[in-house]
Structure 1
């Protein structure tokens, strides 16, 4: 990849950006945690429906690793649902808030948070095949230069018979931006595949339209579906289910409209998928 996975300007810029976002997100309506405080969850409908299908009897006794967990709202949601969860994030501000919230909710016995670059996860938790469920969702791999190493880390932690659940924005949607297309739709802005990152100076934040971030520069990578699938396969994981969705849990484009329960989608026709989710399992037979 030609990028140092553990240090460099890309990591410094992205970390400064996400550290600054924490206070913005904690104060935002989008990340309202009322349901968490009431003992419920704030999972989006896509993830909630997938977990309900996979675990019809609930998450009691399920050990979960949540990679790139931000300030832990989804992590603590899983703990409220009965799981024992470890959340990892590279932002010290995010991890501090996650730990504070775990204490507030009385969930510190179920939810542990570790400050670490995701690429260092195996050093922070040197226990292979130790989780029933590895989970990551929404705005994660686009910040990572090497999705193959990410997949190897996921595979390292999943128990035989366990699962990996992943949901994220669709790379077909990420080639667009703004509202400069016909009828106010987004316009082409980025290539579908890029070995070099898009270095973007954008002070806006998706959770609060009024905020101007001081740490505005980010480094982002496109990871096409074929690259993600190949990375998981080469890491020893087989895709059990794959679903494309025409909704996403943030206003990805100005033209998208509220669908309820925090989700956004196209105003009329289903122009192209906005997100996808997959479930992968450890391979039981070698690839020929």
Structure 2
């Protein structure tokens, strides 16, 4: 493990402990344990019926979405590089009385770690920005799917990744594409859920990339793009100016030019 990944994993181990407590309700754990389906509206609307499907959930974190898919009737395996996240995911599965498998490991090693023959790979919200090799990610997606299996992907739109809010406007701050050996680095004293607890592992590294990088990697890995959607909502305040849009989603405020904030797509393994 290189220094970038080591730093990121230390940060995500700490975040997993805080997120499992869910003091701010960001992850809606209490609502989930009470029986509510807490997938966000975008993926809930787009994934179609998953009952009876065998699903691999890449970068599953503490397992809330994994278990929502299980509650919908899927046989789900969650994969994450944070051992603390995997511990919490297994605990949530036991508390919810739901069957799901959780495996610690790198996404790139998914075929070896969780096997092959899956009907679907599911991945959403804050995932590929943490990966230094988009082509190896796409190969892992194709590698675990059976021919005809599909990927569902939803995440922050790459077009807003280079922007930061400055004095009430959005300004470009970062390059739109990062070299593998030169990611952007960030210092965050707290996590994104609103929990004020101070982190000790504050430095993280992320890789910027364009839509063409994501789609191109999937095509090169033997996937067919079925559809691609852009959305003006996100399930978190990517910029401080964003306003509550209901259903645990956020939007840019009035007076700010409309921008695509999220991107979702479906791709199918062709061979």
Q: TM-score, normalised by structure 2?
A: 0.94
List aligned pairs for 1:197-216, cutoff 5 A: 197-208=183-194, 210-216=196-202
- Structure 2 unaligned segments of length 5 or more: list them: none
Counterpart residue number, 2:89 = 98
Shift in alpha-carbon separation, 1:126–1:63, aligned structure 2, 3 A: closer
Rounded to whole Å, the distance in 2 between the matches of 1:204 and 1:38 is: 28
Say if 2:129 is the partner of 1:135: no
Identify which of 39, 43, 46 aligns with 2:42. 46
Structure 1, 133-142 or 36-45: larger mean CA deviation: 36-45
Partners in 2 of 1:138 and 1:86 — Cα distance?
A: 18
1:270 Cα offset (Å): 4.8
Given candidates 223, 235, 256, the residue that maps to 1:237 is: 223
What SS does the aligned partner of 1:172 have? helix
Distance 2:90 2:257 in 1: 40
Give 1:190's match in structure 2, choosing from 160, 165, 174. 174
- In structure 1, C-alpha distance between the alignment counterparts of 2:248 and 2:67, rounded to whole Å: 18
**SS state at 1:66 partner:** strand
Q: 1:25 Cα shift?
A: 1.4
CA distance in 1, matches of 2:161, 2:195: 19
Query: Unaligned regions of 5+ residues in structure 1, if any?
Result: 1-6
Q: CA deviation at 1:157?
A: 1.3
* 1:26 equivalent among 20, 25, 37: 20
CA offset at residue 60 of structure 1?
2.0
Task: Work out the CA distance in 2 between the residues paired with 1:19 and 1:278.
Answer: 29
* 2:166 partner SS: coil
User: Residue 236 of structure 2: which of 247, 250, 258 is its match?
Assistant: 250
- Name the structure 2 match of 1:263: 249
When normalised by structure 1's length, the TM-score is 0.89
Report the RMSD for the aligned CA atoms in angstroms: 1.4
Q: Is the 8 A contact 1:24 1:208 kept in 2?
A: no
Q: Give the aligned length.
A: 266
Question: Does 2:110 match 1:121?
Answer: yes
Q: 2:211 aligned with 1:217, yes or no?
A: no
Aligned match of 1:172: 159
The equivalent of 1:76 in structure 2 is: 67
Query: How far is the alpha carbon of 1:27 from its aligned partner?
Result: 2.5
